[in-house]
Structure 1
Amino acid sequence: MSTLSFWHDSLPEPITPRPPLPADTAVDVAIVGAGYTGLWTAYYLKMAEPSARIAVLEANFAGFGASGRNGGWCSALFPSSLTKVAKVAGSKSAAVALQRALNDTVDEVGRVAQAEGIDCHYAKGGTAVLARSAVQLQRARADVEESRAFGFGEEDLRLLTALEAQRHANATGVLGGTYTPHCAVIHPARLARGLARVVERLGVAVYEQTPVTAIRDGVVTTRHGTVRADMVVRATEGYTPSIRGFKRALAPVYSLMLATEPLSDEVWQQIGLARRQTIADYRHLIIYGQRTADGRFAFGGRGAPYHYGSSIRPEYDREPRVHAELRRVLGELFPVLRNVPVTHTWGGVLGVPRDWFASVGLDRAAKLAWAGGYVGDGVGASNLAGRTLARLLRDTPDDPGALTALPWVGHRSRRWEVEPLRWLGANAGLRVMGSADAEELRTRRPSRRAALFAPFIGH
């Protein structure tokens, strides 16, 4: 289990899976998935209603999936832009309300971690996104202009000069960038495992090694028995297609990572990230990184293919070609790291909805609630989703503008196309965004193909 990722390998204690569901049972709320969404929902629901009978059902162990092996960004990011959220919601104020709730969520995660004694290495240093070409600098300026158009000031997102950006991260070729304080770094597996312990202590039943095969009308079918519930929460993110009836709800897309050996203080002085800022740049094919609590550079990015039929297999966690490219890009950004040993490589699936619009919802007639589709931005958003689901499940009336009125609540994304159209479309998008970066390097102009594809990926 420790080979799943650096995060799992660096846990303070070995992972011992909890026992599976022992027999058929009945509860008030059954939660499918012991990742962040499921565990946050259990936490806030149990805190609000201590007498609630809640069971969490997990195919492997808490924090096995993306919640335990992501990039460790507890950010205020949402997969769709402010402009798209406003268009979907029908108002700019709704988009602003969602963004402000996400901003506040970064602090909420830190608050709960401290209150519950979860040592997840939380450090709020913000995010620096670097612009390393004139075209990328245009995108940085456009991001700030969009933010200002929605009423957000420099305290939320600031345009950086080249010198200011280099003070955050001294990468090569930096022309400028943006900075937001609304992000913290965490140790993902420590947070997931810690949340599982907390909810169990509160009286939530956590059944691991219990794969769910079907959810229907308040009945959860597993390989070990049946759970009947007044309401079922589907919190399965990239693994959603493995459940009968949800094959086309989300597409599982792989993101891959590596971690270096611990770096010396002298090396970190050359790199920057003194406050453990998270780092990315304005290329189309996403990269992301952080400085871990023990002084490693954890670095990841997209580029792995979507696998036919939404297939998820352990061998897909490592793609030598993609990991080699991540190694090359890291050395290009920071030449001091070109020959530094990499101690861990890993990957995992994230959930992508057809319209790249994350959602939270509840269907009382079907006895089903859900949250997900974070497209890799789920560490913070899952906390907001958990709080929102807890209120929806309790049918708590809210004032206008409160959590249950946010524009992602009740949103339903259209289903993905059947195969082979799903495979063709997902991988075509990957190729477009990868080639767009090469096109911009060659032409020094914004990529036409990226502009044409942007509406399909949240813009």
Structure 2
Amino acid sequence: MARNGQTQSWAGGSLAGVKHSPLWLDGFTGPQHPPVDADLLVDLLVVGGGFTGLWAALQAAEQNPGRVVALVEAGSLGWAASGRNGGFCSATLTHGLANGLARWPDEIGLLQRLGRENLDAIERTVLAHGIDCGWTRAGEMVAAVEPWQVDALSAQVDASRQLGGRVSMLDAVQARAVASSHTYLGGAVDPDSTAVLDPARLVLGLAAAAVSLGVRVYEGTRVVGVRDEGSRVAVSVTTGLDTGLAAAPASTVVRNHTVRASRVVLATNVFPSPLRRVRPFTVPVWDHVLATEPLSDRQWDDLGWHGGQGISDAGNQFHYYRTTPDRRVVWGGYDALYYYGSDLTQRRMRHPETSKRLAEHFFTTFPQVRGLRFTHAWGGAIDTSTRFTALWKPALGRKVVSVNGYTGLGVGASRFGASVALDLLEGVSNERTRLAMVRRPPLPFPPEPLRWAGIQLTRASLGRADATAGRRNAWLRLLDRMGMGFDS
């Protein structure tokens, strides 16, 4: 994406006084639920208070009202990826159609249908429980901003339509009617594949719905060990410990307890699993997001983006962006940062160079709103797998199932991931659990220093592909043949 000195000067001033926290978490007062204060005996324990954990708890309570379900979260609900994303809720379970076709061509029709049904089910839950999360299902446009991307998008539209999709290819004029950017050379529009929402409010709504059905929710409760006890799993937890997690409940008294459960869902997302065998299958990728101040009437009209659609561009290093009910623009993506040793320390939440780069790209895309300020800038870690999709790992005699690896599309796919995890725990054989995606895990990432070196080489190669009409070099072609990759 082209840049110039004037654009950079707009970007510098636009970040003055920015707040380094997610827009969605403004006004949140911290934990709403107590930590575990005694040993517990439950039917199902869910570890992790993000989207996957909340969907698992809610669906388990809905399916079996007599089941005793507990959820433990080390920090506070939704403080990590579930409250730090851009608020896109997508129907895809395969990180896009192209990735699904490359990996599971024989099952792609089923995967597409299951994805649409999953998004429909999320919408029904939001409506049934009155969750006030700004749910807007206006679809998404993927914009071509380089000539080579037009043909690539056109091919994807053809493939989608052959599978029954309602995707349309737009020319430059039509794409610029969706949002007024001179950078658009075309676009692919899917009218119902995506909703935008306030992810933190969805977290709170799912938690309230689960609690209303009897789920016990505990915050500030860190899992420190899991062991097999035959008919049950013993999960050791600690409270009052400095977890190093933002918004963790403060306490000066460290207490240890044991939660015994017949079944356990591990929904720890990007954070190291209590089961070491699971850890090599994901790495943390840091993504960064900006949010503008509310646009004036004049700026809103100049932007020309009134349909509520989510938008992304078609590059390997891509941006995603959407509007909010109070007329802000949330703008993120492009850089996908990995730090040696899978560093998850809080200092990685800020990256001034990336924030400035995002601001420059924003004003390149929408120069007509120059002078607009950004009020929020934040970062969060995404759990990336080598195939860019969720993975499930049963353990301890199938009494435990872990699920993670969504690679940036977990707002929607997390419900599906939780559904499959519950099915696997119960030994259910159905069209979900028989999927090759569920039965066969991806290749793990190599250990350090090979991990860091390989990821940096891949990032550089993806950037080079964007600069050379999408041509993939020998390294990327090798990864393609191996069925591996790196993305956010």
Give the alignment of 1:48-447 within 5 angstroms: 48-80=63-95, 82=97, 85=100, 88-89=103-104, 92=106, 94-149=107-162, 151-153=163-165, 155=166, 157-181=167-191, 182-217=193-228, 218-223=233-238, 224-240=256-272, 244-360=276-392, 362-363=394-395, 365-396=397-428, 398=430, 402-437=431-466, 439-440=467-468, 445-447=469-471
Whole-Å separation in 2 of the counterparts to 1:81 and 1:299: 20
Is 2:48 the counterpart of 1:33? Answer: yes
| Structure 2 residue identity aligned to 1:56 | L
Per the normalisation by structure 1, the TM-score is 0.90
| Structure 2 residue identity aligned to 1:189 | A
Aligned twin of 2:246: none
SS at match of 1:174: coil
Is the CA contact 1:241–1:250 (under 8 Å) kept in the aligned structure 2? Answer: no
Is the CA contact 1:82–1:96 (under 8 Å) kept in the aligned structure 2? Answer: no
| Structure 1 residue identity aligned to 2:280 | R
Whole-Å separation in 1 of the counterparts to 2:284 and 2:109: 29
| Structure 1 residue identity aligned to 2:75 | N
Q: Deviations over 1:55-101 (max 9, x none)?
A: 11111011011111101001123445546545654x52x21111111
Over the aligned positions, Cα root-mean-square deviation in angstroms equals 2.3
Is the CA contact 1:7–1:189 (under 8 Å) kept in the aligned structure 2? Answer: yes
Q: Deviations over 1:258-301 (max 9, x none)?
A: 10001123322222331210011111112101101211100100
Is the CA contact 1:140–1:177 (under 8 Å) kept in the aligned structure 2? Answer: yes
Aligned twin of 1:6: 23
Q: Deviations over 1:177-224 (max 9, x none)?
A: 101121000100000121112112211111111122333432322223
Alpha-carbon offset, residue 176 of structure 1 = 0.6
Percent of paired sites with the same residue: 34
| Structure 2 residue identity aligned to 1:160 | L
Is the CA contact 2:303–2:369 (under 8 Å) kept in the aligned structure 1? Answer: no
| Structure 2 residue identity aligned to 1:403 | R
SS at match of 1:50: coil
Over 3 Å counting, the alpha-carbon distance change for 1:293 and 1:242 in structure 2 is: farther
Over 3 Å counting, the alpha-carbon distance change for 1:350 and 1:453 in structure 2 is: farther
Is the CA contact 2:94–2:100 (under 8 Å) kept in the aligned structure 1? Answer: no
Q: Deviations over 1:203-262 (max 9, x none)?
A: 111111112233343232222322221121111111135764543231011111010001
Instruction: Give structure 1 stretches of 5+ with no counterpart.
Output: none
SS at match of 1:232: strand
| Structure 1 residue identity aligned to 2:337 | P
Is the CA contact 1:254–1:302 (under 8 Å) kept in the aligned structure 2? Answer: no
Whole-Å separation in 2 of the counterparts to 1:431 and 1:213: 37
Alpha-carbon offset, residue 115 of structure 1 = 0.7
Whole-Å separation in 2 of the counterparts to 1:254 and 1:26: 37
Is the CA contact 1:131–1:140 (under 8 Å) kept in the aligned structure 2? Answer: yes
SS at match of 1:258: strand
